[in-house]
Every structure is written in C-alpha cells, then in structure tokens.
Amino acid sequence: MEGSGLAKGNLPQQNASRTPSGKDAPSALERVRQAAGKDKKLRFTALLHHIDNLETLRMAYFRLKKEAAPGLDGETWRHYGEELERNLQDLSERLKRGAYRAKPVRTRMR
C-alpha cells in the first residue's frame, strides 16, 4: 500500500537510541577496542564470547579483503561465502560450545 504510513503500533521513535544521552551505546567489540587503545599493555584472555553472534561474524566476513590469498586450509573469501549463512552458523555454534580451534597462520619472515 503506497503512502499508508506506519503500521499500527510502529512509532517513529521505535528505532531511536536507547541511551539517555541519545547516543547509541558502544558494542562489546567497540568497548574492547577502546580498552585496548587506552592501555597498550592490557592483555585479553577470553574474547571469543564477544564474537560468537551471527551479525558480528557476518560483519567481520564482509570486512575481509575479497582478493586476499587463501588461508593455509586453502579457503578463499569467495568459496566461504558460497554458503555463508551455513558457515557462519557452524562457526558461531563451535565458538559457543568451545569447540573452535584457530588454524595456524603463515607469517612473513623479515
């Protein structure tokens, strides 16, 4: 229906900020980023619980370089994305139950 306006019960301020200052509260990852920026000697011991939700994982995937070289496991950005939602769901579940183990990474020797 064109021009019907808001559906009953959908108030214009529904998407308004939920903090008293009117600014959106920083996400858990943003708070971690801020803490790391303030104290360079700060050590984090348990961060996986900050990234186990699907939206955070999806955002991280789309921030990767699309044309980067494949990982040691041969996985490319494009191939992982062919079944992105299933892959992200699997990764999220493994993170939540503590079954995720990061693969070794190749580092450049200088």
pLDDT digits (tens, 9 = 90+) for 78-103: 999 999 999 999 999 999 898 988 77
Scan for tokens 């041969």, then name that residue.
74
Q: Is residue 60 part of a domain?
A: yes
Q: Is residue 56 part of a domain?
A: yes
Does 22 have pLDDT greater than 70? no
Structural domain count, the chain: 1
> Domain limits at 87?
46-97
Dihedral sign from CA coordinates of 49, 52, 58, 64: positive
Q: Is residue 84 part of a domain?
A: yes
Q: What pLDDT score was predicted for residue 29? A: 74
Q: Is residue 89 part of a domain?
A: yes
Q: Which residue has the higher pLDDT, 92 or 15?
A: 92
Rounded (10°) CA dihedral 97, 43, 106, 82: 40
Distances (CA, A) of 102 to 1, 73, 98, 99: 50, 11, 11, 10
Element (H, E) at 5: none
